[in-house]
Chains A and B, each alone.
Chain A
């Protein structure tokens, strides 16, 4: 990592630290945060679910780091449960959405002019509606609940990745080795599987990781508005919506911590996504 030879670094007046190491550390930190949530929610068991009326509305203390709510639930435990719920929903939706994006991008880039027009019309229509509005409409159509949220978030998060992947495929498609393969009489299906997919894998992986935060945030927003996960579940959106009733009385911790947890979870995924991107793309790791 000798920056002195990099022409771009000549312009910069500050000496940068080793970027790869710091990227790696940030990525590890993000991974650690996610593991903490996943493990934490398993370890605490049903803490935060059972009520304890002797400990209602306590401000944060050493015993209850995040305070307690009107039923005496420990908010730290509840936040962890909520985050792990977000994690599950995020995992399912990001995976499904990525799959849709890959299939549509392949179709658009190799299926000819008409397939491309149809896919880009689908993208236009989906992006033409405000994202949250479409989420509300789909959740409304399905009557709310966990399945509705998963379907709504899945059906609305593929367009951006599809665009990126389509552009990527178009670029590879005109590469000489693909042209050569075509001249040898290979079908587009064969080329898609053997030349395009391997090339798309890193992009897809990054896209998947960066889809996560969006999916999680939108799930929380839908739940907060009352279209999402069932009110009984300790989802972050539910916790924050419930907190609204008690904020005026000065119970600030009910609003602060669940949202902070969500923010940290989202940042963890961002760190991992950007980390993979920087570590796999040598052009980016320098800047």
Chain B
């Protein structure tokens, strides 16, 4: 267990290093951008502002200082909990981030859970009856959906259910013109339905394919053959032996898929004009709102890297060979 503990500690240290590296890289990228933050802030008013006023704004934001100075200033503020001010939403970044995460959480969380559960069940079924019609259908579905552009699927669902059938609303997280506390739970769910369906339909594919591959392997194992010889049905074996063995690999894939899920939600939120974290990312990028863009970047890095870390730890937990492989790798010349 001590080796596992050491491994976990090294991974935590690495997470901190990755966060620091991402902070440096993201800040440099933002500084590289040809979009002038003052221009972006002023927008159409740019013609009415003289050079003295521009210089004043630049000074107030510390833009006249060298980049290294700006970075250390930003990093110090960040560590003391001050994320800066978002000019796109005219509010502190921390507030924007909190409200956006709150809006995206039900979407991403539910999509994550549903695609994990559905994908796992489909993968188990496909693997248990590999070669059957059911398996073919699930496999073709997964292969095709894994190649489908997220935003296109979102557009198709929008055209079908919101425009043609008019079952679902065409945009946003709530009916237009309503205050946040007036919106009922049912209305929220109603607006969540299509973005959620988009992300779930896509998320299922990966998990199903991985679980299926594992299940096929299990069904060909000696213990499955033995169980079969004793008269157990395929479904019996799948549920009693397969599901447990396939669960951890599926979980691993699920934890490693958070980054992709976020990417999907950026695109889905864009199509459905859903005011979540993804839409804030796009807005921040288009308007040159650097403090917000950097804050979202760091937040997502923390989330995704933690997911990756959990996935790796789970992997070691499932497969003891992974632990040995590391020590073996470098012992050879």
Contact = CB atoms under 8 A, between A and B. Distances in A.
A255 B259 CA distance: 26
B200 interface: no
Interface stretch (B30-38, B50-58, B190-198): B30-38
16 contacts: A16-B131, A121-B21, A124-B308, A125-B18, A125-B25, A127-B308, A129-B301, A130-B260, A131-B260, A143-B35, A179-B333, A225-B270, A227-B286, A255-B159, A262-B149, A263-B148
The 5 A-B residue pairs whose C-beta atoms are closest, nearest first, are A259-B152, A132-B263, A141-B29, A130-B259, A128-B305
A252 B143 contact: no
B155 A247 contact: yes
A177 to B, nearest CB: 14
Given A127-B259, A130-B301, A137-B29, 15 more contacts: A128-B308, A130-B258, A132-B262, A137-B293, A141-B30, A217-B147, A217-B149, A226-B282, A244-B271, A247-B163, A252-B163, A255-B155, A263-B144, A266-B149, A270-B147
A137 B26 contact: yes
B300 A129 contact: yes
B267 interface: yes
Contacts of B282: 136, 225-226
Nearest to B224: A11
B163 A129 contact: no
Interface of A: 8, 11-14, 16, 113, 121, 124-125, 127-133, 136-143, 170, 173-174, 179, 182, 213, 217, 220-221, 224-227, 240, 243-244, 247-248, 250, 252, 255-256, 258-260, 262-263, 266-267, 270
Interface in B214-237: 219-220, 225
B297 A173 contact: no
A225 B297 contact: no
Contact of B143 (A131, A260, A270): A270
Contacts of A248: 163, 170
A286 B329 CA distance: 30
A229 B241 CA distance: 50
B17 interface: yes
A45 B282 CA distance: 34
Contacts of B34: 142-143
A132 B159 contact: no
B70 interface: no
Nearest to B330: A113
Contacts of B267: 132, 221, 224-225
Contacts of A170: 329
Contacts of B32: 141-142
B308 A11 contact: no
Interface residues of B, number: 62
A252 B308 contact: no
A128 B130 contact: no
Nearest to A128: B305
Contacts of A136: 266, 281-282, 285
A141 B159 CA distance: 34
Contacts of A240: 151-152, 155
A130 B300 contact: yes
A263 B301 contact: no
A193 B22 CA distance: 34
A250 B163 contact: yes
A14 B129 CA distance: 10
B18 A128 contact: yes
A224 B219 contact: no
B173 interface: no
Contacts of A12: 130-131
B147 A227 contact: no
A274 B262 CA distance: 27
Interface in B148-204: 148-152, 155-156, 158-159, 163-164, 170
Contacts of B21: 121, 125
Contacts of B332: 173-174
B304 interface: yes
A244 B110 CA distance: 26
B132 interface: yes
B316 to A, nearest CB: 16
A136 B259 CA distance: 14
Interface in B299-318: 300-301, 304-305, 308
Contacts of B19: 128
Nearest to B15: A128
B147 A266 contact: yes
A138 B144 contact: no
Contacts of A252: 159, 163-164
Contacts of A16: 131
Contacts of A221: 149-151, 263, 267
A140 B35 contact: yes
B94 to A, nearest CB: 19
Contacts of A179: 333
Nearest to B261: A130
A217 B260 CA distance: 13
Nearest to B145: A263
A137 B30 contact: yes
B111 interface: no
Nearest to B262: A130
A247 B158 contact: yes
Contacts of B281: 133, 136
Contacts of A263: 144, 147-149, 152
A14 B131 contact: yes
Contact of B285 (A124, A213, A227): A227
A57 B162 CA distance: 20
Contacts of B148: 263
A270 B163 CA distance: 32
